[in-house]
Amino acid sequence: MSVAAARPIAIKIDEVTRARVKRLAEARQRTPHWLMREAIQQYVDREEKRETFRQDALQAWEAFRATDLHVTADQAEAWLVQLEQGNDVDPPPCRS
């Protein structure tokens, strides 16, 4: 994967937030610029994962609506208990 060139972008933050960023950056022995880049990167990574999870849930819901295939909560719980105990068991079969 190639690294894209970094391009500057301006954001507007209030003076209180700016001072907080500066104090935290000093405490971490980093620059405010580094701290803000790190914060943005972590936020974007987290939100991309959240969106992927949301899309997967929507697809699963649509698949359920189309097929009516499911497992009961009791079946799922029993399977998870087996996995927690270290047993390598197949998931329960779906039913309609």
DSSP letters, 15-59, are: HHHHHHHHHHHHHTTS-HHHHHHHHHHHHHHHHHHHHHHHHHHHH
Q: How confident is the model at residue 5 (pLDDT cuts 50, 70, 90)?
A: confident
Give a yes or no: residue 87 inside a domain.
Answer: no
Angstrom distance (rounded) from CA 40 to CA 62: 33
Count CB neighbours of 82 within 10 A: 14
Answer yes or no: is 26 within a domain. Answer: yes
Q: Which residue range forms the structural domain that includes residue 23?
A: 15-67
**What's residue 2's pLDDT?**
65
CA pair distance 13, 2, nearest whole angstrom: 31
- Provide the pLDDT for residue 16: 98
Q: Looking at residue 10, what is its pLDDT?
A: 93
Residue 91 maps to a domain: no
Number of domains within the chain: 1
Residue 1: pLDDT band (50, 70, 90) is low
Look at residue 20 and tell me if it is in a domain.
Answer: yes
Structure confidence by residue, pLDDT tens digits, 34-74: 999 999 999 999 999 999 999 999 999 999 999 999 999 99
Is residue 41 a part of any domain in this protein? yes
